[in-house]
Amino acid sequence: MKSMIDLLQSEHLKIRKNWGVWLLFIVPVVITLIIDINIAMSHSGITNFQGNPWMSKLGQPLLLMYVLLFPMMIALCVHSLFDLEYSRMNFKRLYVLPVSKRMIIWAKFIVVVEILGLSTLFAYWLLMLSGNFFASTLPKYHFGDFDMNPVFTAFFVRMFIICLSVAFLQYALSSLFCKFSVPVGIACVGTVIALIASPWKYIYIFPYNLIANYMKDFTSESVAILTPSVIVALLYLVVFGAATYLFLSRIKV
């Protein structure tokens, strides 16, 4: 246990100045700010807003950007984490530490879960902060009249699980191909395919189905968490996690 804590401390120090990690926190801030500014600038013609502002004004544009960009940002972030060890032959230093290889790889997995968890939580917090801010500053939108917390919570939990399976798929691809272009390219193409194929009945079996999940579950204000896409993502999480473990433990050093 002590070795795991030591490894996690060491991993945190390594990623502190990693651009890929910061990307997952900076992009949500930028997107939220753009949408917030848009809401603030376009209120002059409105006297009494009809409908649910959480959905139409804030949630839909913001979350659409998240589901479009998160798989690609995850691909960039995960590859930067992998490259930190790979490009400068740091696996040679890492695998001669007096700690088991298994524990080293598990520490890396935990860090991925942690980054993604914090990033999703941060994105959720930004959304709620924006809505509550407008509830007090622009009352004509009636943000305060709706409790969208259950819908958003369910959405972000689903997003976290699906993104986690994507993260492990990306980790497996990065450790298999080692190059930047292949895993990141696959994530971009995968997201576009998911967008095009989102009406398909079985789209939930496609790993990059986050955008389809948004189209189906969020727009219907679903509060279900264990949707088919989440169940498949949990299954993928195990499969891709095992593949990543295998590739990382056998990586040529």
Partner 1 sequence: MTNAIETRKLVWAYQKQKVLNGIDLQVPKGAIYGYLGRNGAGKTSTIKLLMGLLPAKRNSVYFEGKEFVANREQILQKVGSLIGDPAYYNLSAKENLQVLDDIYHCGKRRIMEMLEITGLADDKDKKVPKFSTGMKQRLGIAMALLHDPDVIILDEPMNGLDPEGIYEIRELLLKLKEVGKTIFFSSHILDEMEKICTHVGILERGQLIYQGTLTALLKDVPKQVTVLCESPETVCSLFTGQQFDAYVEQSNKVSVRLNQSQSFGDFIRLLAKADTTVYNIESNNSSLENIYLNLTSNV
Binding residues among 183-242 for partner 1 as defined by CB under 8 A: none
Measure the CA–CA gap between 10 and 31, rounded to whole angstroms: 31
Q: How far is CA 15 from CA 18, 83, 163, 165, in A?
A: 5, 11, 20, 21
* Candidate list 26, 88, 129, 224; residue touching partner 1; CB under 8 A: 88
How many residues form the binding site for partner 1 (CB under 8 A)? 24
Neighbours of 181 (CB within 10 A): 9
Question: Closer CB to partner 1, residue 20 or residue 53?
Answer: 20
Q: Does residue 151 belong to the site contacting partner 1 (CB under 8 A)? A: no
Measure the CA–CA gap between 75 and 187, rounded to whole angstroms: 6
- Cα dihedral sign, 244-246-250-252: negative
Q: Does residue 102 belong to the site contacting partner 1 (CB under 8 A)? A: no
Question: Closer CB to partner 1, residue 1 or residue 96?
Answer: 96
Q: Does residue 7 belong to the site contacting partner 1 (CB under 8 A)? A: yes
Question: Closer CB to partner 1, residue 2 or residue 201?
Answer: 2
* Candidate list 4, 64, 99, 176; residue touching partner 1; CB under 8 A: 99
Residue type, 109: F
Measure the CA–CA gap between 114 and 119, rounded to whole angstroms: 8
* Candidate list 18, 60, 153, 222; residue touching partner 1; CB under 8 A: 18
Both tokens of 129, joined, read 């902060």
Q: Does residue 249 belong to the site contacting partner 1 (CB under 8 A)? A: no
Cβ proximity of 201 and 109 under 8 Å: no
Question: Closer CB to partner 1, residue 55 or residue 99?
Answer: 99
Q: Does residue 97 belong to the site contacting partner 1 (CB under 8 A)? A: yes
Residue among 10, 214, 172 nearest 82 (CA)? 172
Q: Does residue 98 belong to the site contacting partner 1 (CB under 8 A)? A: yes
Residues of this chain that bind partner 1 (CB under 8 A): 3, 6-7, 9-10, 13-14, 17-18, 84, 87-93, 95-100, 253
